[in-house]
Chain A
Amino acid sequence: MSSVTPAIESEENSDALPDQTLIHIEKLNAWYGDFQAIHDLSLEIPKHKVTAFIGPSGCGKSTLLKWINRMNDVVPGARAKGRLAISGDASNDHAEINVLDPGLDVVGLRRKVGIVFQKPNPFPKSIYDNVAFGPRLHMKTSKSELDELVEWSLQKAAVWDEVKDRLHGPALGLSGGQQQRLCIARAIAVGPEVLLMDEPCSALDPSSTLAIEDLIFELRTQYTIVIVTHNMQQASRCSDKTAFFFEGKLIEAGPTEQLFTRPQQKQTDDYVRGKFG
């Protein structure tokens, strides 16, 4: 498929571009009640790249992920201090977003920062209605525009060929891997800039996992992706940058290849070699 509007779709190889930071995290501290889940954490997340968060359970990686689109708002007792900002973007016409600002429009934030969860959670509606759910909320579209958007999202999520003949069939009738790709399609249908993924493959079998990993690597040309994973091979396969967390602290972050082959810290070395965790 050739692009007729190259100005909007940037298909050039993002590896060639110098890193441009999209999400700035500085001296972030986060708590659940009295328990401090994140300590003084600073990290930069590059635009149009895949950043993986790794670390043992309870290291704060999911907590950090869920602060990026304020998913933690619904957790009682969760609070955070520090700076967490998303760079302004002229093509998406918004200024810098200060994510932790209490007066922030979180509904708008979550449209720009989508999330895919560990367990596929399609709504008990048809496949089409699942993908159209967000667009129907956020934009006024004609029937044909909506059809086009649903097809595009499903194609982007590499699930179109499998579902195109049963778009109005129930989403819950799909396999786990298909459901997860449907959830990704649902997330990108509202035109987000960032996609957060919280262990998106941990409930899937190896071949579905591979399909999603390929998809993640593909999607970074257009989206900034942050993925939390327990699976170190997965981080090394599909991410550009990896951050290793331990007990709520960032131990080390860097280009994925470097972190896995020449880690600077002993803890990182032990973890990526599978000595603990």
Chain B
Amino acid sequence: MPLPKALQNREFRSTRSGAFSERLIVISLALCATATVLITVGIIYMLITQSAGFFRSEAVTMSGFLTDTEWTALQSKDLAQAKFGILPLLSGTFRVTLIAMIIALPLGLITAIYLSEFASARIRSWLKPTLEIIAGVPTVVLGYFAILVISPSLQLISDGAFSTFNATGAGIAVGILCLPMVCSLSEDAMRAVPRSLREGAYGLGCTPFETSVKVVVPAALSGIISAFLLAFSRAIGETMVVALAAGTLPTMTLDPTQQAQTMTGFIVEMIKSESEYGTVQYYSLYAVAVTLFAITFLMTLGGQIIRRRFKESYQ
């Protein structure tokens, strides 16, 4: 068999020059990666310098900010009467997020188990796109859905116990919003569990359901927990739905039937209000933003630690 022409020519590329361009490529990749770091640093810098304007004011004390149970930055034009206690906003965010998680986590995880372990190819082929449609719905539409459908339904069932704008309606809408994320990330994690583990469980006489719950879910735990934490951060940061449907009154309560202005909802209201730039009331939005940032930062950090602890690696 004669050697083919391409090999007779022996004209191979020079790999030396390749090494140089390779290095250039790596450097530019590293520069792109640095951009994310710079952006993060920029955001933190802005939040800290701007919120300093708030905390420097004599009307504000750190302990008051953390413990006062009233927040009237929008309502009190007069600085002397304004109350800056973050707790009502935190309680709003907490209520909405809790309700959202009650909806999204179980529903998302169960759907993921069904999709990854039980659904036939045909069911998957329409269930997955349906979930993706939810993921693609603009949040403003979901906010309206909460006002026009969810809250009126709640009022109807409860005989009017729910106010027009309430934490539950907004929470359910945020939960719907987080559902596809929980579901698809958990499903990915479960699908990544090697077949041999499932076979091992079946080989010991497990039913399909026992196999998924006792072997697949624990094996995919790190991915599932990351999915939960991502959804949690998403719910805390969600803005449009709560700005539309949760109400505009900061209330210090755990009652889910009442209005609940969240931290994000307040920031929107403040930016759109007529408060003058430079006033302490205006700067308070940065203090709220720092709190929000700190919470999501801690969530991310916690997520990293948990992921590392539960990490299983498979060959």
Residues of A within 8 A of B (CB): 1, 3-5, 8-9, 92-93, 105, 107-108, 111, 135, 137-141, 145-146, 148-149, 151-152, 155-156, 190-191
A108: chain B residues within 8 A (beta carbon): 12, 15-16
19 intermolecular pairs with C-beta atoms under 8 Å apart: A3-B1, A8-B2, A8-B8, A9-B3, A105-B15, A105-B16, A107-B15, A107-B19, A137-B13, A138-B13, A140-B13, A141-B6, A146-B6, A149-B7, A151-B4, A156-B1, A190-B12, A191-B7, A191-B10
Residues of B within 8 A of A (CB): 1-13, 15-16, 18-19
Q: A5-B8, A139-B11, A190-B12 are in contact. List 15 more A-B contacts (CB 8 A).
A: A1-B1, A92-B10, A105-B19, A107-B19, A108-B16, A137-B13, A138-B13, A139-B9, A139-B13, A140-B13, A141-B6, A145-B4, A145-B6, A149-B7, A191-B10
* Contact across chains for A8 and B15 when beta carbons are under 8 A apart: no
- In the complex, what's the smallest C-beta–C-beta distance from B13 to chain A, in angstroms? 5
- In the complex, what's the smallest C-beta–C-beta distance from B20 to chain A, in angstroms? 11
Alpha-carbon separation in the docked complex, A172 to B255 (Å): 59
- In the complex, what's the smallest C-beta–C-beta distance from A150 to chain B, in angstroms? 9
Known: A105-B19, A107-B18. Contact between A138 and B12, CB under 8 A?
A: yes
B19: chain A residues within 8 A (beta carbon): 105, 107
* Contact across chains for A9 and B6 when beta carbons are under 8 A apart: no
A9: chain B residues within 8 A (beta carbon): 1-3
A137: chain B residues within 8 A (beta carbon): 13
The 4 A-B pairs with the shortest beta carbon distances in the complex, nearest first, are A108-B15, A107-B15, A152-B4, A149-B4
Known: A1-B1, A3-B1, A155-B1. Contact between A135 and B6, CB under 8 A?
A: yes
* Contact across chains for B15 and A140 when beta carbons are under 8 A apart: no
* Contact across chains for A140 and B7 when beta carbons are under 8 A apart: no
Q: Which residue of B lies closest to A103 (CB)?
A: B19
Alpha-carbon separation in the docked complex, A205 to B19 (Å): 41
Contact of B6 (CB < 8 Å), options: A3, A111, A149, A156 = A149
Q: Which residue of A lies closest to B22 (CB)?
A: A107
B12: chain A residues within 8 A (beta carbon): 108, 111, 138-139, 190-191
